[in-house]
Amino acid sequence: MEFGSIEREIQVEASPEVVFEVVSSSQHLTGWWTDGADVEATAGAVGELVWGDRENVVPIVVVAAEPPRLFSFRWVHPEGDVTAADSLLVTFELTPSGSGTRIRLTETGFREMGWETAKLEEQYLDHLSGWDHYVPLLGAYVARLVPSR
């Protein structure tokens, strides 16, 4: 295993505009991914993702917000230093497809973190498992938002 990037794709029956809101707004992130979020869909905005009762608070920096086609952010900054370039990049690319949207999630930057091999493998597998869990929840959440056709 190369531990370079994680890619996941799903198709949802909702417009790219709806999906953009789901992947980029605090209100919707808490519906499928986090327990709390403070996110502004503006490039350069600093926010946070929260799991549990603030046991795990992760700062994020929005890299790109181009409604309704692209939302990306950096997270897992060393020592929580949101100015550090060596962080992981998560990108949601949204493409109209049939009557819905194809969501392509990519997470990159694992090798660039400078982690020892054991930590690199542990972090990569943890994120891989996380996206395997959360991407289907994203699809199910979008399905609940959009009335059946």
- In three-state form (DSSP H/G/I as H, E/B as E, the rest C), the secondary structure along 42-83 is CCCCEEEEEECCCCEEEEEEEEEEECCCEEEEEECCHHHCCC
* Predicted pLDDT at 86: 81
pLDDT category, 148, cuts 50, 70, 90? low
Q: Looking at residues 27-46, what average pLDDT do you find?
A: 96
Separation in Å, CA 142 to CA 16, 32, 101, 118, 145: 11, 9, 11, 36, 5
| 38 phi, psi to nearest 5 deg | -130, 95
Q: Looking at residues 121-149, what average pLDDT do you find?
A: 93
Q: Above pLDDT 70, what percent of the chain?
A: 97
| Rounded Cα distance, 58 and 53, in Å | 13
Is residue 64 within a helix (H) or strand (E), and if so which, with residue range? strand 56-66
* Predicted pLDDT at 93: 98
pTM above 0.85, yes or no: yes
* Predicted pLDDT at 147: 76
Paired with 84 in beta bridges are none
What structural domains and CATH numbers belong to the chain? 5-145 (3.30.530.20)
pLDDT in tens, 41-91: 999 999 999 999 988 999 999 999 999 999 999 999 877 678 777 899 999
Residue 26 pLDDT greater than 80, yes or no: yes
| Rounded Cα distance, 58 and 127, in Å | 14
